[in-house]
Amino acid sequence: MAKWNLQSYLTVNIEPLPPVVVGDAVTLKCNFKTDGRMREIVWYRVTDGGTIKQKIFTFDAMFSTNQSHMENYRKREDLVYQSTVRLPEVRISDNGPYECHVGIYDRATREKVVLASGNIFLNVMSPPISISVIAADTPAPFSRYQAQNFTLVCIVSGGKPAPMVYFKRDGEPIEVVPLAEPPISAASLQDGRASRNLLTRDMDDTKMQKSLSLLDVEDRGGRPFTEDPFKGLTPDPGLLFSPATEVVPETVVSREFPRWIHNVEPVYYFHHTHIPISDGTVEVRAMLMWTLNPQIDNEALFSCEVKHPALSMPMQSEVTLVAPKGPKIMMTPTRARVGDTVRILVQGFQNEVFPEPMFTWTRVGSRLLDGSAEHDGKELVLERVPAELNGSMFRCTAQNPLGSTDTHTRLIVFENPNIPRGTEDSNGAAPRPTGSRLALALVLTVVLELT
């Protein structure tokens, strides 16, 4: 009598998947072939390097009515099954390994279960979500006599895997020299220049001649400020509508540069770093560094472009290197009176300026109200302006590594009817009632003597 081979077999495999993009609908397919009776199917999401398995789907044949319990175990029949798990909108957190575990009853004995499994790694890609180009070590001054390094940094965030980043100039790819280490910061070249007193720039022979209203005031009998503040104060009748400031044409740095600057193609150095983010994405910082030439780099268009397998076309961000020109000055209040707090602010420029400029305020022919020679920042605040500031000229120097420009404005201080002439102090404040306090002290003295 022949003996039947009742031992069952089971093969399991998961259909491979190409990389998917965040937001896609994904179906995981587990195929298995057996001649035994189905026991269970379990899907796991594997995390923490395989130490944790999270059950995401279970099928238990013991509680299913789809199969008959009157199956003839001696009848051998090969059956092919497929179990699917659908992820409607995959996220980066869904990235990782998945396992499909299948169990069948052995034909030899109902108590024995045959187990097999398959696995797959789901690769979830994420396109970059942001790209920006900034200038390193800014704001920085303009240097006419010493070459300075300049660095553009392209920051690309949200990509997985890390994207490929490259630079273009005026639409043409830039040939770069790769660097294994980050480029040397330009700050070391700029430190010595940043400490240079900006007042000495008035002696620079490469600047255009200043306005006659600034340099020839003495020849025309004018003064930068009034010696007698009360004779020089502007009267403030109700019908007088003269402006509070006089805007003087700006002084623009000429494009005459020393001979060490040559019109040759610069050498561009390139370095990039990858910074892993906790959500599984990578931030890329790509740096492009070269020796700046304001003659040829001013108004040059630089773009940073990104290629990524999850993008149908490159992503890009671009900047144009531009020197500052035509600062727009605003003063509040528009009609300054003795004792007022005056704010002079740079609102913007006639053009788009990049990189961000630095601002320095000086008072022509004298120091600022607080006694300092200069003030850094977009805004100059003059607290409790005295009469002595009437007619004073203030200069704003705006500069970036591409160039520099000066803009002047004259402050006109009106009389303040709330402060009688000759009674305000040097800071424009009203006098304190010292006479009243003295009289009160005398009265108290007399009362004390009488008692």
Tens digits of residue pLDDT in 8-57: 789 999 999 999 999 999 999 999 998 888 889 999 999 887 788 999 98
Average pLDDT over residues 401-408: 93
Does residue 63 register a pLDDT over 70?
Answer: no
**Cβ neighbours, 10 Å, residue 61:** 17
Q: Encoding tokens for residue 400?
A: 């970036």
Is-contact 324 400, C-beta < 8 A?
yes
Q: What angle do CA 209, 210, 213 make, to 5 degrees?
A: 135
Q: How confident is the model at residue 112 (pLDDT cuts 50, 70, 90)?
A: confident
Is-contact 338 419, C-beta < 8 A?
yes
Q: Encoding tokens for residue 419?
A: 């402060």
So what's the pLDDT on residue 93?
92
Is-contact 128 158, C-beta < 8 A?
yes
Which is more confidently placed, 392 or 61?
A: 392
Q: Is 207 helix (H, G, I), strand (E, B) or coil?
A: strand
- Least confident span in 123-137, 238-252, 285-299, 320-334: 238-252
Q: List, for residues 145-162, the tens digit of each pLDDT value.
A: 888 899 999 999 999 999
Strand-pairing partners, residue 96, are: 122
Is-contact 83 43, C-beta < 8 A?
yes
Instruction: Give the side-chain half-sphere CA count within 13 A for 26.
Output: 25
So what's the pLDDT on residue 261?
55
Does residue 97 register a pLDDT over 60?
Answer: yes
Does residue 222 register a pLDDT over 90?
Answer: no
CA–CA dist 146, 149 (Å, integer): 10
Which of 384, 402, 350, 410 minimizes the C-alpha distance to 226? 410
Q: For the stretch 237-247, what's the b/e string if a residue is b when 16 or more beta carbons lie within 10 angstroms of its beta carbon?
A: eeeeeeebbee
Q: How confident is the model at residue 128 (pLDDT cuts 50, 70, 90)?
A: very high
So what's the pLDDT on residue 233?
53
Highest mean pLDDT among 46-55, 107-116, 143-152, 350-359: 350-359
Strand-pairing partners, residue 379, are: 345
**Cβ neighbours, 10 Å, residue 15:** 13
Average pLDDT over residues 302-310: 96
Model confidence, pTM: 0.69
- Least confident span in 111-120, 187-196, 257-266: 187-196
Average pLDDT over residues 63-92: 66
N-to-C CA span, the chain: 144
Strands 268-276 and 176-178: parallel
Which is more confidently placed, 44 or 203?
A: 44
Highest mean pLDDT among 222-231, 315-324, 331-340: 315-324
Which of 357, 337, 341 minimizes the C-alpha distance to 412? 337
So what's the pLDDT on residue 5?
53
Q: What angle do CA 397, 253, 319 make, to 5 degrees?
A: 80
Strand-pairing partners, residue 251, are: 406
Q: Encoding tokens for residue 138?
A: 């800014």
Strands 20-21 and 124-125: parallel
CA–CA dist 151, 287 (Å, integer): 7
